[in-house]
């Protein structure tokens, strides 16, 4: 027994790296891959045959009890260890027979059953003890995390900061000094027991983060406002990924705040503090960046983002599971790689690029007709790592209307888990068909979309080079063969060959379909369901940019016959209006009309809408928002590429008074449409939507300058230079071969590192501009001196690490500026007054404006402010709006529900205010779907209606707060109540 206990506790991950363990008895299939090397009446010992590969979780030796069916009870890495297991098991049986004569009287089969039960019981008992040990280890880990969090807050004086992760690493000074790296939402901190120096760096102050070598050692280089830091660690990649992600999130928060301020600056400072939210309140350019509460949530967000980007899937798609070492069969060949399961899609990608080995596909669950397991082995018999029966049992088939994919996983357990998960998700999606009006690929593509523009586009032959039609016919035949082999729907297989075919151009008759598939717009259409586009257009009255859209309609391909008709203009109008309703944050931006008009040449309105959404929200995000931060960053990045690659051209453009961004910004915004011949622009769009992706825009821009380098250097007039570049390309072969060479040199990872640095600089520049504008407007709108406004503004930003503050931060700073406000209730009411959007945060502008009125306001301003203060106080109480069901109830039932009593305060009811305590009204149960509305408030005769059930909620004043506030001196002029 002691040996048994010792052996079962040597599980991998629990003190041993060898696969030698007792296991819970499970059926054993010997097959062709195992050979028996020893046996007796009770046990058999098996060894893996030579030439048969093993799974990572397998061991080469097994001990099998001769039950019916045979069951494996132990496995080991060496024959010596498995023999000890064999002897130990027999000793357990012999000791039992000596201690109990009834066991000795059993026959062989009964003794095997007894031994099997004994081994199973002891295994379960010991495994349970191991589970307890794991639980204890988890509790210890949580205690260590709490200890680390306390050390972080105390060491760096960050009482309210949330610690997300710690890493053991070294910071290079003169020599590496080992210590602990702390990462939080807003800070990077480092401390070392062998150094007195503490590093405390705000993430938003970081200028760049990169992997590099320092003194020959791989490090992470962090450029701060005043110094450079080098981090060394065995977990360098983990630290870099998390630091990069936190930095990006921090900069997004700065950007969101700056954009909101720039958009709302006039409305914010043209009025005094108001408790009602104006209908003109500007929308944020993007959702408020999410704050993640743990390292695990950050990692999940990173996985989701990579998954969405790699497979061009909607931004709300969540990765549920990833399977490695999966083999997928399509046609006659199988590929090894990774299988990804998300909420609406299945995706697969092989492990390698190049040599025609890249292989990937995406499949929507609604496209799957049924899921089965294979009884026939579809894989090549030469793959002898598993027996034929085992390979067959581990194959799952996904059946579409036009074909199937076969998936093989390493073992039966993974197969069962994958099959169960696929069936559950498939059933869930299918059950939503009617509710969400979902469609599948084939019902969408049954529409005749290929003939729409191919014909009308070719009517305008002057846009194309000679022999265009002949080249189209040759390409069409190649694409027909590829689609016949790999599919032409969402699940179309992507290979290296497909990338080359896209670069050679997509035929007009399938161009729109391929754009939808490659860009991810088709996946977005499937996830949104049928009718989404029409439902948006039905809400066209909500469009706030109709005038801007109408102005640009006639500027969109005015020379093309399709847009010289009312039908063409109406199609363009519908798509742009529907998009503005779908995304009011972007609404409409010039150049969107040019892009959208091109899409409509190849796609119907609904498909063009989804492709426009994909361009503006995924492929080139932040290009078309009001601040245009995405295009600004890309222009800075392109300028760096030009300076490094063609410094003479970049310098010459500057010397002629023609800044490079002035030339290239329209190229990127319009995706070169209108700046090169249409045939060339379509080829650029093929690659942009295809496997080259958005980085291809940089390659085309560089190729344009490279092809015209001599002409550019010889021209000194800026206007002529711009026209020269615009008219230099006559044929795709003039520019695209150079662009493909540039695309092969410029890697996405290189662009990503450069873009992050430029993005941080652009956001900081925008923040500085915003701060200067805000300060200038504040100085005009408040009663404080310019010096006081600047001082208050800087103190707020410094104390709160930004332009917004929560209640804890607000209370600490406000008590410093207004020490006479020493009551918690009064400060809470003031905070709720300033928190107009109910976000739990107040803005620096509202804070300074409030202090201006409190400290130096005129009598009229103070009276107005006191009125708003009182209204804000009283509007925190709500009454329930009866539901339809409640209206139908009888009076007797309503009385049983103990409805809320109304308490009225007016000039004739001062006796209520004189009481030290008030009896709260009786509670009324709240309907789960009940609607709530604020009562109108008439001053000085004020009626307050509220529910006892609301009194303790954090987002409303408690009854105690209410009673105390009613007797505050600031409310007496309004309420006409005596002081308490």
Long-range CB contacts for residues 131-139, cutoff 8 Å, separation at least 24: 133/14
Q: H/E/C letters for each residue in 649-692?
A: HHHHHHHCCCCHHHHHHHHHHCCCECCECHHHHHHHHHHHHCCC
Out of 217, 232, 252, pick the residue that ends a domain: 252
Q: What is the C-alpha separation between 447 and 455, in angstroms, rounded? A: 16
Of the pLDDT bands very low, low, confident and very high (cuts 50, 70, 90), residue 823 is low
- Burial category of 498 from C-beta neighbours within 10 Å (exposed 0-12, middle 13-18, buried 19 and up): buried
The predicted pLDDT at position 798 comes to 80
Task: Please indicate whether residue 815 or residue 441 has the higher confidence score (pLDDT).
Answer: 815
**Phi and psi at residue 370, in whole multiples of 5°?**
-160, 165
Q: Assess whether 192 and 334 both reside in one domain.
A: no
pLDDT tens figures, 613-659 = 999 999 998 899 888 889 999 999 999 999 999 999 999 988 888 88
Q: What is the CATH number of the domain that holds 633?
A: 1.10.472.80
Q: Assess whether 583 and 478 both reside in one domain.
A: yes
Which whole number is the average pLDDT over 356-374? Answer: 83
Q: State how many domains the chain has.
A: 6
Q: Which residues contact 50 (CB under 8 A, 6 or more apart)?
A: none
Q: Cα 580–584–590 angle (5° rounding)?
A: 55
Q: Is the per-residue pLDDT at 532 higher than 50?
A: yes
Q: Is the per-residue pLDDT at 5 higher than 60?
A: no
The answer as to whether 9 is a domain residue is: yes
Out of 585, 619, 653, pick the residue that ends a domain: 619
pLDDT tens figures, 46-55 = 887 764 444 5
Which whole number is the average pLDDT over 504-514? Answer: 91
- The region of weakest confidence among 362-376, 813-827, 896-910 is 896-910
- Structural domain that includes position 358: 295-378+393-435
Distances (CA, A) of 921 to 902, 946, 947, 951, 959: 8, 8, 7, 11, 10
Q: Assess whether 594 and 660 both reside in one domain.
A: no
Q: Is the per-residue pLDDT at 965 higher than 70?
A: no
Q: Assess whether 465 and 425 both reside in one domain.
A: no
Task: Please indicate whether residue 200 or residue 818 has the higher confidence score (pLDDT).
Answer: 200
The answer as to whether 764 is a domain residue is: no
The predicted pLDDT at position 768 comes to 84
Q: What is the dihedral of CA 53, 58, 61, 66, to 10 degrees?
A: -110
Q: What is the CATH number of the domain that holds 818?
A: 1.10.238.10
The predicted pLDDT at position 94 comes to 83
The predicted pLDDT at position 867 comes to 59
The predicted pLDDT at position 845 comes to 84
The answer as to whether 635 is a domain residue is: yes
Structure tokens at 72: 């494996």
Q: Assess whether 468 and 560 both reside in one domain.
A: yes
The answer as to whether 281 is a domain residue is: no
pLDDT tens figures, 53-66 = 445 456 788 888 88
Q: Assess whether 487 and 460 both reside in one domain.
A: yes
The predicted pLDDT at position 100 comes to 78
pLDDT tens figures, 206-229 = 999 988 887 778 899 999 888 889
Q: H/E/C letters for each residue in 258-301?
A: HHHHHHHHHHHHCCCCCCCCCCCCCCCCCCCCCCCCCHHHHHHH
Q: Is the per-residue pLDDT at 287 higher than 70?
A: no
Q: What is the C-alpha separation between 37 and 35, in angstroms, rounded? A: 6
Placement of tokens 């000795």 in the chain: 104
The answer as to whether 564 is a domain residue is: yes
What is the Cβ-side half-sphere exposure of residue 306, based on CA atoms within 13 angstroms?
12
Residue 255 falls in which region: left (phi positive, over 0), alpha (psi -120 to 50) or beta: alpha
Q: Assess whether 459 and 595 both reside in one domain.
A: yes
Which whole number is the average pLDDT over 930-948? Answer: 32
Q: Is the per-residue pLDDT at 593 higher than 90?
A: yes
Q: Assess whether 480 and 604 both reside in one domain.
A: yes
Alpha helices in 875-958 (DSSP H): 884-888, 891-896, 910-914
Closest CA to 344 of 369, 320, 309: 320
Q: Is the per-residue pLDDT at 712 higher than 80?
A: yes
CB atoms within 10 A of CB 623: 24
DSSP labels, 476-501: HHHHHHHHHHH-SSTTPPEEHHHHHH
Q: Assess whether 587 and 665 both reside in one domain.
A: no
The answer as to whether 941 is a domain residue is: no
Q: How far apart are the first and last CA of the chain?
A: 79
Q: What is the C-alpha separation between 73 and 87, in angstroms, rounded? A: 13
Q: Assess whether 414 and 525 both reside in one domain.
A: no
pLDDT tens figures, 666-699 = 999 999 998 998 889 999 999 999 988 899 999 9
Of the pLDDT bands very low, low, confident and very high (cuts 50, 70, 90), residue 350 is confident
Which whole number is the average pLDDT over 916-945? Answer: 33
Closest CA to 191 of 240, 230, 156, 163: 156
Q: Is the per-residue pLDDT at 280 higher than 80?
A: no
Q: What is the CATH number of the domain that holds 242?
A: 2.30.29.30
pLDDT tens figures, 445-458 = 543 334 444 444 44
The predicted pLDDT at position 973 comes to 46
The answer as to whether 950 is a domain residue is: no
Q: What is the C-alpha separation between 618 and 314, in angstroms, rounded? A: 8
Of the pLDDT bands very low, low, confident and very high (cuts 50, 70, 90), residue 570 is very high
Q: Which residues contact 417 (CB under 8 A, 6 or more apart)?
A: none
- Burial category of 160 from C-beta neighbours within 10 Å (exposed 0-12, middle 13-18, buried 19 and up): exposed
Q: Which is it for the CA torsion 415, 418, 423, 424, positive or negative?
A: positive
Q: What is the C-alpha separation between 921 and 942, in angstroms, rounded? A: 17
- Could you say which DSSP state residue 971 is in? G
Structure tokens at 413: 């357990």
Q: Assess whether 647 and 558 both reside in one domain.
A: no
Instruction: Return mean pLDDT, the chain.
Output: 75
Contact 596, 490 (CB under 8 A): no
Which whole number is the average pLDDT over 868-888? Answer: 50
Out of 104, 128, 152, pick the residue that ends a domain: 128
Alpha helices in 487-628 (DSSP H): 496-504, 508-519, 521-528, 532-537, 546-553, 566-582, 592-600, 605-614
- Could you say which DSSP state residue 746 is in? S
Q: Assess whether 421 and 473 both reside in one domain.
A: no
The predicted pLDDT at position 428 comes to 85
The answer as to whether 524 is a domain residue is: yes
SS percent in the chain: helix, strand, coil, step 5: 55, 15, 30
Which whole number is the average pLDDT over 833-848? Answer: 80
């Amino acid at each position: 027994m002691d040996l048994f206990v010792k052996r079962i506790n040597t599980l991998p991950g629990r003190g041993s790296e060898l696969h030698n363990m007792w296991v819970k008895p499970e059926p054993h299939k010997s097959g062709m891959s195992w050979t028996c090397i020893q046996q007796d009446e009770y046990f058999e010992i098996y060894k893996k045959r030579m030439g048969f590969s093993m799974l990572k979780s397998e061991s080469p030796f097994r001990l099998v009890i001769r039950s019916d069916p045979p069951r494996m009870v132990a496995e080991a890495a060496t024959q010596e260890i498995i023999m000890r297991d064999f002897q130990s098991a027999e000793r357990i049986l012999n000791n039992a027979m000596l201690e109990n004569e009834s066991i000795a009287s059993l026959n062989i089969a009964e003794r095997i059953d007894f031994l099997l039960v004994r081994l199973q019981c002891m295994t379960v008992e010991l495994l349970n003890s191991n589970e307890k040990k794991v639980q204890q280890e988890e509790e210890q880990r949580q205690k260590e995390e709490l200890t680390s969090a306390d050390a972080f807050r105390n060491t760096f004086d960050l009482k309210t900061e949330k610690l997300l992760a710690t890493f053991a690493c070294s910071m290079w000074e003169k020599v590496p000094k080992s210590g602990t790296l702390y990462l939080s939402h807003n800070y990077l901190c480092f401390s070392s027991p062998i150094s007195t120096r503490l590093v405390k760096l705000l993430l938003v102050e970081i200028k760049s983060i990169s992997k590099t070598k320092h003194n020959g050692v791989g490090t992470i280089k962090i450029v701060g406002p005043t110094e450079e830091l080098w981090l060394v660690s065995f977990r360098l990649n983990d630290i870099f990924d998390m630091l990069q992600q936190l930095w990006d999130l921090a900069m997004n928060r700065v950007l969101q705040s700056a954009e909101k301020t720039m958009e709302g600056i006039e409305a914010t400072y043209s009025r005094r503090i108001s408790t009602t939210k104006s209908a003109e309140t500007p929308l944020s350019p993007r959702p408020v960046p999410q704050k993640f509460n743990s390292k695990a949530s950050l990692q999940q967000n990173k996985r989701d983002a990579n998954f969405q980007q790699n497979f061009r899937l909607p931004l709300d798609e969540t990765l549920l599971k990833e399977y490695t070492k999966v083999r997928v069969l399509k046609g006659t060949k199988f590929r090894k790689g990774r299988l990804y399961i998300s909420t609406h899609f299945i995706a697969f990608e092989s492990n390698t690029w190049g040599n025609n080995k890249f292989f990937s596909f995406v499949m929507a669950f609604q496209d799957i007709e049924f899921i089965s397991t294979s009884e026939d082995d579809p894989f090549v018999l030469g793959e002898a790592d598993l027996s034929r029966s085992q390979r067959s049992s581990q194959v799952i088939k996904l059946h579409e209307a036009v074909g199937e994919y076969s998936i093989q996983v390493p073992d039966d357990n993974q197969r069962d888990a994958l099959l169960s998960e696929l069936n559950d998700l498939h059933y869930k999606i299918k059950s939503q068909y009617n509710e969400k009006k979902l469609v599948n690929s084939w019902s969408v593509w049954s529409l005749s979309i290929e003939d729409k523009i191919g014909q009308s586009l070719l009517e305008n032959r002057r846009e194309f080079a000679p022999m265009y039609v002949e080249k189209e016919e040759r390409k069409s035949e190649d694409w027909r063969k590829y689609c016949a082999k790999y599919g032409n729907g969402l699940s179309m297989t992507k290979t290296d060959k497909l990338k080359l075919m896209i670069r050679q151009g997509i035929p007009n008759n399938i161009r729109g379909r391929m754009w939808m598939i490659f860009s991810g717009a088709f996946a977005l259409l499937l996830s949104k369901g049928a009718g989404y586009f029409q439902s948006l257009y039905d809400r066209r009255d909500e469009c706030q940019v109709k005038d801007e859209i109408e102005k640009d309609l006639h500027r969109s391909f005015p020379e093309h016959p399709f847009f010289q008709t009312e039908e063409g203009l109406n199609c363009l109008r519908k798509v742009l209006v529907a998009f503005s309703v779908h995304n009011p944050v972007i609404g409409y931006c010039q150049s969107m009309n040019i892009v959208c008009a091109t899409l409509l040449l190849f796609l119907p309105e609904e498909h063009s809408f989804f492709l426009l959404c994909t361009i503006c929200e995924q492929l080139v995000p932040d290009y078309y928002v009001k601040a245009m931060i995405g295009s600004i960053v890309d222009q800075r990045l392109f300028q760096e590429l030009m300076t490094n690659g063609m410094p003479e051209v970049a310098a010459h453009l500057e010397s002629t008074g023609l800044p490079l961004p002035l030339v290239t910004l329209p190229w990127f915004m319009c995706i070169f449409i209108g700046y090169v011949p249409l045939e060339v622009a379509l080829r650029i769009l093929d690659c942009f939507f295809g496997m080259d992706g958005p980085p291809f825009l940089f390659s085309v821009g560089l190729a344009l300058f490279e092809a015209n380098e001599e002409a550019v250097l010889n021209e000194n007039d800026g206007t002529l230079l711009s026209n020269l570049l615009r008219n230099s390309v006559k044929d795709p072969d003039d520019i695209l071969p150079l662009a493909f060479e540039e695309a092969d040199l410029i890697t996405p990872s290189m662009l990503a590192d450069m873009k992050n640095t430029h993005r941080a600089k652009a956001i900081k520049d925008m923040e500085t501009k915003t701060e200067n504008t805000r300060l200038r407007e504040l100085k005009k709108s408040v009663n404080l001196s310019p010096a006081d406004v600047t001082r208050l503004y800087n103190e707020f930003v410094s104390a709160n690490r930004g332009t917004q503050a929560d209640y804890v931060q607000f209370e600490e700073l406000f008590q410093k500026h207004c020490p006479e406000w020493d009551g918690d209730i009064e400060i809470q009411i003031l905070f709720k007054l300033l928190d107009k959007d109910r976000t739990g945060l107040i803005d620096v502008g509202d804070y300074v404006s409030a202090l201006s009125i409190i400290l130096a306001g005129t009598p009229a301003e103070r009276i107005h402010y006191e009125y708003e203060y009182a209204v804000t106080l009283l509007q925190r109480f709500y009454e329930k709006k009866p539901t339809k069901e409640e209206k139908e109830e009888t009076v007797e039932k309503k009385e049983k529900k103990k409805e809320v009593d109304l308490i009225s305060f007016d000039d004739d009811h001062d006796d209520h205010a004189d009481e030290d305590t008030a009896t709260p009204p009786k509670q009324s149960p709240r309907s789960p779907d009940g609607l709530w509305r604020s009562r109108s408030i008439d001053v000085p005769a004020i009626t307050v209606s509220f529910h006892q059930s609301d009194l303790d909620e954090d987002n409303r004043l408690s009854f105690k707060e209410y009673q105390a506030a009613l007797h505050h001196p600031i409310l007496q002029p309004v309420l006409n109540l005596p002081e308490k």
